[in-house]
Structure 1
Amino acid sequence: MRRLLLLRHAKAVVATGRNDFERDLVERGRRDAARIGAYVAHAGLIPDLLLHSGAARTRQTAEAVLACWARKIETRVEPGLYEATRAAALAIAAALPERCASAMLVGHNPSIGDLANALTDTGAQVELMAMAARFPTAGLAVLEFDVVRWRDIAVRSAKLLSFVTPEDPRLKAG
């Protein structure tokens, strides 16, 4: 079994002539990312590895999430997640280290939402529909694959274990 957590970066400042790569999170974004991090910890979903695109908003989202976890995990910058297509994001996931049973990708839309929807085959209908309708900032899809190797993940091969957003009542206020 392999578990993949796909997290869209949290709410960032509006791009107003500024370098997109350097856009920081707003305060709401920091709070939302922390709520997602607390959910992941509470649900026992802390991954073995976290990859983010290196953009300021994905790095800051990752930092806020990681701060909620008692266990430290390996974290890496994966530049390919910035402006990735769905196919490129899938290739990154399929190349994850085999020693990791679970991993989190912190990236950008449309690739994170597109990838989550493309990979998912089964799951709770209400969550599948919500995820297909909108993958908001700090949205998290938790996917499980019945495969031995990451390279064997494919379109429509995952079960959606959960899809949560910062407004989800399952997230603890904070």
Structure 2
Amino acid sequence: MRLILMRHAKSDWADASLDDHDRPLNARGRRDAPRMAGWMEENGCRPDFVLSSDSKRTRETFSFLEARWGQSVPVHFSSKLYLASAPRIREIIQSTSEWLSGDQDESIQMPETLLVLGHNPGISTAASELLGHACGLPTAALVIWTCQIDSWARELTLSNCKLLDSMRPKQLP
């Protein structure tokens, strides 16, 4: 199984009156998200299922990813992932089967590749814990692991998750 932890693309701070939850992507975010989706697809890492924060910027990031992939990817948007801590992110990953049977199509199987789309500092802290060293994810960056588990309900650890790859928008050509 593969796990992808990704931070949302760059958000727009131009309108100070907006609540943090309601901030959209800026021009760089709208450019970087599809580029990252292209890299994911080229490297065989398109997810089977997405767990995402329900903020406007994560929804828009997912929309740009999915549009670049050219096909629908099942997603569950959750307020529980909005500004979630690393322990909360791990807990949500372990409850993936609940999201699959909730408001989604009953035919969705347990995903082989799971993308979790979230916010800092939690998403970077969760990545750091699985890497075994500090890792700061800039906007639209991602880290991918191969996980030696038979279910997302299993605990993810340094011993059962091996780094497969990572990418930041600034590394793309």
User: Per the shorter chain, which TM-score range?
Assistant: 0.7 to 0.9
After TM superposition, list the pairs within 5 Å mapping 1:49-60 onto structure 2.
49-60=49-60
Stretch moving more, 59-68 or 15-24? 15-24
- In the other structure, the counterpart of 1:152 is 154
Stretch moving more, 53-62 or 13-22? 13-22
Stretch moving more, 60-69 or 153-162? 153-162
Whether the aligned pair in 1 keeps the contact of 2:128 and 2:135 (CA below 8 Å) is: no
Instruction: Report the RMSD for the aligned CA atoms in angstroms.
Output: 1.7
Instruction: Say which SS state the counterpart of residue 124 (structure 2) adopts.
Output: helix
Unaligned runs of 5+ in 1: 122-127
Whether the aligned pair in 1 keeps the contact of 2:6 and 2:116 (CA below 8 Å) is: yes
Residues in 1 aligned to 2:69 and 2:123: alpha-carbon distance in whole angstroms: 22
Residues in 2 aligned to 1:117 and 1:159: alpha-carbon distance in whole angstroms: 13
1:99 equivalent in alignment to 2:102: no
TM normalised by structure 1 equals 0.85
Whether the aligned pair in 2 keeps the contact of 1:47 and 1:102 (CA below 8 Å) is: yes
Residues in 2 aligned to 1:153 and 1:81: alpha-carbon distance in whole angstroms: 18
Q: Once the two structures are aligned, what percentage of the paired residues are identical? A: 31
- In the other structure, the counterpart of 1:124 is none
Give the partner amino acid of 1:24.
P
Whether the aligned pair in 2 keeps the contact of 1:9 and 1:106 (CA below 8 Å) is: yes
- In the other structure, the counterpart of 2:139 is 137
Give the partner amino acid of 2:42.
H
Give the partner amino acid of 2:2.
R
Whether the aligned pair in 2 keeps the contact of 1:51 and 1:106 (CA below 8 Å) is: yes
Unaligned runs of 5+ in 2: 98-108
TM-aligned CA deviation for residue 84 of structure 1: 0.8
- In the other structure, the counterpart of 1:23 is 23
Instruction: Say which SS state the counterpart of residue 71 (structure 1) adopts.
Output: coil
TM normalised by structure 2 equals 0.86
Give the partner amino acid of 2:75.
T
- In the other structure, the counterpart of 1:46 is 46
Deviations 1:16-59 (A, max 9, x none): 24201100000110111111100111111111101211100000
Give the partner amino acid of 2:116.
L
The one of 111, 116, 122 aligned to 2:122: 111
